[in-house]
Amino acid sequence: MRVIAGTYRSRILKSLKGLALRPTSDRLRETLFDVLGRDVSGSRFLDLFAGTGAIGIEALSRGAAETVFVENHGPAAALIRRNLESLDIRKGATVLAVDALHGIEMLASRKNAGISGFHYIFLDPPYAAADQYARVLESLGSGNLLAPGGVLIAEHRRGFDLPEQAGAFESYRVLKQGDAALSFYRRAATAG
């Protein structure tokens, strides 16, 4: 697994052995960031269920001002820190070793303290934990962690369709590649 483009292009990222993680493929990561384009530069990025940290690190490599990694699995959170250290990323990265819902609560309290919302929120729960999609989408939809005009992206199994509406969010695009898919959401026009 490697960083696709930007400052850390072609640098290798470590992963955990075995089936503990299912990292987003290089090809799907490249597709995702091709869609997001240059707007990633200067943005704030939230990587939920961060795993190896590859998505958030790719955002930093492409110029994101800040990435917050939320990962509950202790060895994976330690792996993210090691990957950041190996790239000498010392600023703009925060690793929260908590579950996604607790991480959202923690970040919501930061936002209430005056820190702006995230331009991009990426979530990729374990495919076997299908219930996590609804719970996390509902939690995000009831809050204001996503900045105005921001995009929420969910990676999921190709055959597992996410809802068109999820709380305050509506799906506007689904990209399928191999056995995975990316669903893109934005705040519904009728949502506050």
What residue segments make up the domains of the chain, in order of their start?
Answer: 26-187
- Classify domain 26-187 by CATH architecture: 3-Layer(aba) Sandwich (3.40)
* Beta-carbon contacts of residue 4 (< 8 Å; ≥ 6 apart): 26, 29, 30, 33, 58, 61
pLDDT digits (tens, 9 = 90+) for 69-117: 999 999 999 999 999 999 999 899 999 999 999 999 999 887 665 667 8
Q: How far apart are CA 42 and CA 63, in angstroms?
A: 6
Kindly report the pTM of this predicted structure: 0.92
Q: How confident is the model at residue 128 (pLDDT cuts 50, 70, 90)?
A: confident
Q: Does 161 or 63 have the greater pLDDT score?
A: 63
